[in-house]
């Protein structure tokens, strides 16, 4: 079984451990360390679902919790789980995954015909419009609407799995195991504080897991691995990977969901419960939740093959997967230039970097220029072409005010469009207990204003996107939190 889009080398997947899985009945292969999404992309599968109303084709956009499209149904029988994100679902041997919200199949979907009449189905139109005549509801409308609308199917049998809940106390809880969170955990842990460090991903490192950045002259992940090894040696530190913090309440109360055996699959002999809810009362809370890339808005920006730039970098660097063969990068900031370099270095042809800024400058921009990648400054993507996958983009020049386009339309062939509209700090957990936010003009996003009492925000979640700044802030937040919990220097 060939993995047509797998790079020859690279990535943090175990190429000696192939895994077989099925997607919509097709048998495919990935590697240990893949998510379902990265394994699908490695096999050149880009169409994973259908949109809710018009059943437009939907592809993988992101690489983690931010992906809006890749909802799948995993497993069968009573243990089936509807509406998992393929980007968060770790691959295991024998996984059975199916698309949701498509009938009879994701490639040929009857309801997609709605798209032809899209202009007749205004935004307020919903299936509940079909109410009359009354006798038709039970026999005609409801069964059909149920088929056309809704996503996955809930299991009908009793849940065969066991679940666990646990109450816990600690001095400092750190949410987010990226560079800032790991730095905070190191600082607080070294002072002897009881620390819980949790991260939604299977391992720690956050953005460093999908990047080629260097720290202290070594690859960033070497620093993270050393730090995690040190934390594992500290008796008062609890490391919780695969654990999502889903609630932050007053006075340092944080709810976590740990996925204990989900990644092993339903046939695993592991006797541990499937998931565990943690209810943690912490003296001090450090939020190092990072930032998510936002996509740019243009006509037909929802075709499969159009992804956020950081997600493409993650697939290349972390999974050794090239989501396309020829790429176009569309950006309004510097970070997507790194994606162009990541693709170029791995043999993916970068047709052009389209930048809305008239005169992009910077280290990354210069490096892209040096690689002789074409940069179209002051341009914008105005439309994309393709059916079930993007085949090309249309580009026009932006006017001086940036609110209109003029000149000739240039068409560029590509099967991958990486878009970057800047970064949004993840401030949900700051907002849960009533934390206020403030609009930051310089990068057009909301950031935490005053921190909640006994809570510290560190790293990209307050808009500090540079690695060095994340680490400094992480160390300082860890030190302050530990000191406030009674663990001074």
Least Å distance, CB 260 to another protein, is: 24
Which residue, 138, 145, 131, 137, is CA-closest to 53? Answer: 145
Least Å distance, CB 239 to another protein, is: 24
Asked if 446 is part of the footprint of another protein (rule: CB under 8 A), the reply reads no
Stretch binding another protein (CB under 8 A), from 243-251, 332-340, 376-384, 421-429: 243-251
Asked if 251 is part of the footprint of another protein (rule: CB under 8 A), the reply reads yes
Residue 445 near residue 424, CB atoms below 8 Å: yes
Q: Which is nearer to another protein, 177 or 448 (CB)?
A: 448
Asked if 434 is part of the footprint of another protein (rule: CB under 8 A), the reply reads yes
Asked if 298 is part of the footprint of another protein (rule: CB under 8 A), the reply reads no
Least Å distance, CB 279 to another protein, is: 8
Asked if 253 is part of the footprint of another protein (rule: CB under 8 A), the reply reads yes
What's phi and psi for 38, nearest 5 deg? Answer: -70, -35
Largest CA distance in the chain: 75
Stretch binding another protein (CB under 8 A), from 75-83, 124-132, 247-255, 395-403: 247-255
Q: Which is nearer to another protein, 280 or 287 (CB)?
A: 280
Residue 427 near residue 289, CB atoms below 8 Å: yes
Stretch binding another protein (CB under 8 A), from 98-106, 155-163, 249-257, 316-324: 249-257
> What's the CA gap between 285 and 457, in Å, rounded?
9
> What's the CA gap between 199 and 245, in Å, rounded?
8
Asked if 448 is part of the footprint of another protein (rule: CB under 8 A), the reply reads no
Binds another protein (CB under 8 A): choice among 136, 249, 361, 411? 249
Least Å distance, CB 281 to another protein, is: 7
> What's the CA gap between 174 and 457, in Å, rounded?
10
Q: Which is nearer to another protein, 246 or 253 (CB)?
A: 253
Least Å distance, CB 459 to another protein, is: 25
Binds another protein (CB under 8 A): choice among 26, 165, 250, 272? 250
* Total of residues contacting another protein (CB under 8 A): 9
What's phi and psi for 22, nearest 5 deg? Answer: -120, 145
Q: Which is nearer to another protein, 135 or 167 (CB)?
A: 167
Binds another protein (CB under 8 A): choice among 12, 190, 281, 394? 281
Asked if 246 is part of the footprint of another protein (rule: CB under 8 A), the reply reads no
Q: Tell how far CA 274 is from the center of its chain.
A: 23
> What's the CA gap between 318 and 366, in Å, rounded?
25
Q: Which residues does 457 contact at the CB level (< 8 Å), separation at least 6?
A: 286, 287, 288, 427, 430, 448, 451, 477
Stretch binding another protein (CB under 8 A), from 7-15, 121-129, 246-254, 326-334: 246-254
Asked if 252 is part of the footprint of another protein (rule: CB under 8 A), the reply reads yes
**Quick one: CA torsion of 18, 84, 114, 144, rounded to 10 degrees?**
110
Binds another protein (CB under 8 A): choice among 178, 305, 320, 433? 433
Q: Which is nearer to another protein, 399 or 450 (CB)?
A: 450
Q: Which is nearer to another protein, 181 or 435 (CB)?
A: 435
Token pair for 324: 């396309």
Asked if 453 is part of the footprint of another protein (rule: CB under 8 A), the reply reads yes
Q: Which is nearer to another protein, 76 or 250 (CB)?
A: 250
Q: Which residues contact another protein (rule: CB under 8 A)?
A: 249-253, 281, 433-434, 453
């Amino acid at each position: 079984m060939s993995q047509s889009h797998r790079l020859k080398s690279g990535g943090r997947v175990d190429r000696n451990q192939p895994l077989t899985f099925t997607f919509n009945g097709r048998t495919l292969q990935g590697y240990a360390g893949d998510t379902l999404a990265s394994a699908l992309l490695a096999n050149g599968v880009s169409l994973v679902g259908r949109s809710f109303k018009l059943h437009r084709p939907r592809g993988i956009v992101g690489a983690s919790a931010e992906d809006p499209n890749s909802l799948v149904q995993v497993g069968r029988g009573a243990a089936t789980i509807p509406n998992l994100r393929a980007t968060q679902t770790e691959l295991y041997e024998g996984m059975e995954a199916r698309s949701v919200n498509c009938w009879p199949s994701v490639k040929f979907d009857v309801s997609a015909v709605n798209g032809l009449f899209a202009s007749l189905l205004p935004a307020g139109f919903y299936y509940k419009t079909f109410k009359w005549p009354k006798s038709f509801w039970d026999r005609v409308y409801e069964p059909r609407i149920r088929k056309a609308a809704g996503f996955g199917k809930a299991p009908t049998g009793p849940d065969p799995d066991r679940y666990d809940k646990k109450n816990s106390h600690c001095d400092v809880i750190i949410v987010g195991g990226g560079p800032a969170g790991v730095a905070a955990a190191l600082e607080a842990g070294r002072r002897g504080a009881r620390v819980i460090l949790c991260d939604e991903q299977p391992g720690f490192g956050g953005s460093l897991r999908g990047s080629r950045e260097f720290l202290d002259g070594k690859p960033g992940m070497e620093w993270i691995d050393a730090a995690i090894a040190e934390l594992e040696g500290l008796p008062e530190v609890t490391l919780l990977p695969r654990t999502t913090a889903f609630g932050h309440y007053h006075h340092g109360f944080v709810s976590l969901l740990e996925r204990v055996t989900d990644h092993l699959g339903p046939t695993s002999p592991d006797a541990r419960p499937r998931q565990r809810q943690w209810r943690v009362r912490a003296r001090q809370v450090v939020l190092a939740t990072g930032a998510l890339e936002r996509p740019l808005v243009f006509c037909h920006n929802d075709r499969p093959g159009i992804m956020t730039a950081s997600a493409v970098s993650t697939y290349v660097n972390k999974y050794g997967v090239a989501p396309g063969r020829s790429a176009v990068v569309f950006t309004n900031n510097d970070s997507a230039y790194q994606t162009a370099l990541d693709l170029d270095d791995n043999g993916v042809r970068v047709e052009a970097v389209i930048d809305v800024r008239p005169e992009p400058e910077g280290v990354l921009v210069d490096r892209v220029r040096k690689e002789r990648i074409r940069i179209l400054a002051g341009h914008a993507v105005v439309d994309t072409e393709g059916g079930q996958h993007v085949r090309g983009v249309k580009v026009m020049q932006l006017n001086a005010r940036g609110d209109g386009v003029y000149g000739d339309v240039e068409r560029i062939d590509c099967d991958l469009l990486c878009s970057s509209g800047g970064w949004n700090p993840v401030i949900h957990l700051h907002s849960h207990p009533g934390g206020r936010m403030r609009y930051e003009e310089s990068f057009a996003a909301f950031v935490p204003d005053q921190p909640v009492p006994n809570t510290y925000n560190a790293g990209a979640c307050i808009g500090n996107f540079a690695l060095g700044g994340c680490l400094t802030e992480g160390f300082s937040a860890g030190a302050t939190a530990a000191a406030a919990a009674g663990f001074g220097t």
